[in-house]
Amino acid sequence: MIGIFDSGLGGLTAYKELHALLPAGDFVYFGDTGRVPYGSRSREILTRYARQDIRFLLRQGADVILAACGTVSSVVLDDIKSEFSIPLFGVVDASVNAALAATKNEKIGVIGTGATISSGAFAKKIAAANPHAAVTSIACPLFVPLVENGYIGRGCTVTREVAADYLAPLRDEGIDTLILGCTHFPIIADIIGDLLPGVTLVNSGAAAAAEVAAVCGKTSGSGSASFFVSDSPVNFDTVARVFLGGETIRAQKVDIEAY
Amino acid sequence: MIGIFDSGLGGLTAYKELHALLPAGDFVYFGDTGRVPYGSRSREILTRYARQDIRFLLRQGADVILAACGTVSSVVLDDIKSEFSIPLFGVVDASVNAALAATKNEKIGVIGTGATISSGAFAKKIAAANPHAAVTSIACPLFVPLVENGYIGRGCTVTREVAADYLAPLRDEGIDTLILGCTHFPIIADIIGDLLPGVTLVNSGAAAAAEVAAVCGKTSGSGSASFFVSDSPVNFDTVARVFLGGETIRAQKVDIEAY
C-alpha cells in the first residue's frame, strides 16, 4: 500500500501521476485540510505535523510513503526519515535530479512556499550535486491560496500579475529550468510557462511519483484508493476535482491530532 | 485585564482601536498564527480552537475578552459564551448595531471569510433586529492571504481586481452600508471604498472595540500590553506593523494545544 500525504489537496497532483504509473497499486491519501497551509509554519510545528501524518498512513497499512508536500520534503523530511522503518520519499531529490538532467546553461530556478525557500533544501541539494549550477530561489506564498480559490487558467489576470511579480527575478537571471517545488503549482503551469518562455518546468510531484513507481515496480494490488482529510470533507469533492481533472472521489475525516 | 484574540494578526486592528480608547488599560493579545487561517475551517474545529484561545487568555488574567475574529464571532461564540463566567464579546453584535444605525435604504452588505458567510450570523442578527432590512452576504476568502502578503494600498491592482470580482453583486444590489466582517479587511478599506462609492463601511473590530470600551469605562490599569502567538514569533514584527501602522511590538510563543 502506497501512502501519500500533503498539507491539503495539492498532493493529489502527485497521486494522479503515481496512479497513472501504477494503476493496479493500492493507495491511501491523507490531506491535512484541518491544518493547511504548511508553507508559513515553523520547523518545530512542521516536524510534529509530518510525524503525525506519517503515523496515520502507517496505521492504514502503508509500506512506502510519499510526502507529496514541498514544505515537508524541504524542511523536515531528512531529519525524521530515520525514525521510520519504511521507505519515505519526498519531492526534493527526484526534482533536483530531473532539473540537473534538463538544464543546459546550469541556471536553475526554484519556486515554493515561504518555508520551503527559507529552508534552502533544493538549492543545497543542487549545489551538492553540481557546484557549478547557479540557483535562484523565490518564495511564492500567494500561489497556494490563489489555486485553492480557483484563480487558475491561462486567462486569469490576477494570478498572472502575481506570478509576474514573483517570477521577474528568474527571468532576469536567464534560468533555463524551473523546479515547481510545491504540488499546487502544476495547476498554474500554463501561466508560469507563458511568463518564462523556453524554460523547462520540473513538476516536483510528477518527478517524485516516477521515483516511487520505479521502487514499487513489482507491486500489484487491487487498484484501491482511499482518501482522508483532517477537516470536514464537505467541500472536498469540489476542490479535489481541480487537482484530479474531473474524477470524483469521496473522503473520510480523521482526527489527526490523535496520531 | 482585557484579553483579545484572533486567528492571526488581523485582530491587532481591534487592539489598536481599543488601546486608543483605553490608553491606561492592560491588554493581553493572542494571535493563533500556528493554526491560521480560521475562515476555511469547520464549526467543530473552530469550537475547539476558540475554547483553547479563551482558556489561555483567562490563564493570563483576562477578566473581559474580545474575540476580534469575524469567523469565531460568527460561527461559535454564541454557542460557547455560557461556558465562561466573564464578559465575552465578539464583533458581530456591535457591527450589526452600527450598520443598522448607518443605513438609510435598509440595504446592507456583509463581507467575511467563507466560514463567516456560511454561518449566516450577521444576516440573522440583522433580520432579527430589522426584518425590513435586505442583506447581501459575500465570502471573500482571498482577502486574508492578500493582506498578509502585503498586497495592500490603493495602487495594488491585484487586490483591486479580486475585490472587484467579490464586490460586484453588492454594487448591483445598491447597498448603502457594508460590514467589514473580518478584522483583516480594514487594511484594504481604501480599495473596497473606491469600488463602492457612497457606501458607509462598518469596521467590525472598531465597532466591537467601542462596545468593549463602554463596558470597561471605569477600568484603569498600568497601560501594559503583552502579545502571544502560537507559531514562531520571528516574522511577527514585520506583519504586526502592517496592522498597527508602524508601532513595533514583541511577541512570545505559546503552546496553544496545551490549553
Q: Do A142 and B151 touch (CB under 8 A)?
A: yes
Sign of the torsion formed by the C-alpha atoms of B247, B252, B258 and B259 = negative
Q: What are phi and psi of B206, to 5 degrees?
A: -70, -40
Give this complex's ipTM: 0.90
Which domains, and CATH codes, for chain B?
A: 2-90+207-258 (3.40.50.1860), 92-204 (3.40.50.1860)
Residues whose CB is less than 8 angstroms from the CB of residue B109 and which lie 6 or more positions away in sequence, other chains included: B135, B136, B137, B138, B170, B173, B175, B177, B178, B179, B196, B199
Q: Do B42 and A231 touch (CB under 8 A)?
A: yes
Which residue has cell 462609492?
B197
The pLDDT assigned to A100 comes to 98
The pLDDT-based confidence of B234 (bands split at 50, 70, 90) is confident
Q: Do B142 and A146 touch (CB under 8 A)?
A: yes
The pLDDT-based confidence of A78 (bands split at 50, 70, 90) is very high
The pLDDT-based confidence of B221 (bands split at 50, 70, 90) is confident
For the stretch A25-75, pLDDT in tens is 999 999 999 999 999 899 999 999 999 999 999 999 999 999 999 999 999
pTM (two decimals): 0.92
Dist CA B161 CA A257 (whole Å): 38
Of the residues B142, B161, B256, the best mutation for testing chain A's interface (the one with the most A CB atoms within 10 Å of its CB) is B142
For the stretch A81-130, pLDDT in tens is 999 999 999 999 999 999 999 999 999 999 999 999 999 999 999 999 99
More confident residue, A253 or B249: A253
Chain B CB contacts of A257 under 8 Å are: 257
A217 contacts A107 by C-beta, under 8 angstroms: no
pLDDT at A218 over 70: no
Q: How many CB atoms lie within 10 A of CB B83?
A: 10
